Amino acid sequence: MAERANSVELHNVVKRFGDIAAVRQMTLDVPDGSFVTFVGPSGCGKTTTLRMIAGLESITDGDILIKGRRINEVPIHKRNLGIVFQNYALFPHKTIYDNVAFGMMYRDVDRETTRRKVRQALQLVQLPHVEDRYPKQLSGGQQQRIALARAIVIEPDVLLLDEPLSALDANLREGMRVELKRIQRELGIATIFVTHDQSEALAMSDKVVVMSEGWVEQVGTPEQVYNEPASEFVATFLGISNLLDGRISEADGQTLKIAADNGMDLLAHRQPDRPHGIGQNVRLAIRAEKIFLADAHAVDNDSILMDGTVRAVDYQGQAARYFVECGGTTFQAVNPIDRSPFQEGQSVRLRIRAQDVVLLDPARSGATASRAQTAAGTEAAA
């Protein structure tokens, strides 16, 4: 199958506000029809990047292309983009019909075509009978759908979503995730979604872009960024990870033996494109849900088993988050509950499989590599 063309391309994009670099040398491709999510903490540069693509912020350096056309100096109204903001930005004094039809007014579309497209858009967001209402007469979730209808009615080249679900309550937000994904798939439109919510990023995306302090830490599928984090930041920002330091003591085929600094011995699989020399210092990450707890007499020949004591239990309904002391280290483990959770003070065994131990290589991971490349380029230019 031939590779898809790119709807959006960013080439070494930089944004500075005075002496502050908000986005640093960002290079990214957004394929046609894909759902790409920028995720990271507040101030990481994700919204600034979206605003540069939209034309709401100027670019300090680099290039942005939409459908192969460089649009650095192209004004927002000539970029053919659909945008949904966090606050929806609906006109309170206009009917829902006029809100959705607003973008058609500037595209020289006749009245009959406008009416047909508005009705199609309202049908797509499953609100076909609200044309004559006003925004204040709709719920928050319904207003969010109307904002989406207004963005897609113009048949944009790219859909930009700036935290559109953050104002909704938890249950409604989960339902709207499914609806957004359904609509995006039905339209087949390239979509860039900005969120600080890790679960939204993992649940909705074809590609996740993890950002920190203006740098891109990692780009990959949800499975890649979650199960194969490139850096300590990604490992800790997306979910709960246990971090350990140690060194490689043995290397046998595809399996490495790690002597952790706390005295434990762990097994790990070799990882592509990362050095694995005996005696090499390593940083390990183990996802909390990859540590399985069993009673103190459990036996398993395929995993490392370590004795520990449950110090605290965070009951979460179908699962529990355990804080387990083992070898002077407190591990976090998230396990489903079969009948009843383990209790505080209970002796348990921690089962850790080699395939669940991730070796983090600081010299090659995400932002660290980008910073190193930047420094190298600066020295070469000097």
Domains of the chain: 6-232 (3.40.50.300), 239-360 (2.40.50.140)
Residue 88: the pLDDT is 78
Q: Tell me what pLDDT residue 283 has.
A: 92
- 316 or 64, higher pLDDT: 64
Q: How does residue 25 score in pLDDT terms, banded at 50, 70 and 90?
A: very high
Whether the predicted pLDDT of 140 surpasses 70: yes
- Please write the tens of the pLDDT for every residue from 97-116: 999 999 888 788 899 999 99
- For the chain, percent of residues with pLDDT exceeding 70: 91
Q: What is the mean pLDDT of the chain?
A: 89
Residue 381 has pLDDT above 50, yes or no: no
* pTM of structure: 0.88
**Cα separations in angstroms, 307 against 266, 346, 357:** 13, 11, 18
The CA R_g of the chain, rounded to the nearest whole Å, is 25
pLDDT band at 300 (very low <50, low <70, confident <90, very high): low
Quote the tokens at residue 363. 């010299």
In Å, how far are 140, 156, 231 from 44, measured between CA atoms? 27, 27, 16
pLDDT at 249 exceeding the cut of 50? yes
Alpha-carbon distance 221 to 36, whole Å?
9
> Is the pLDDT score of 375 beyond 50?
no
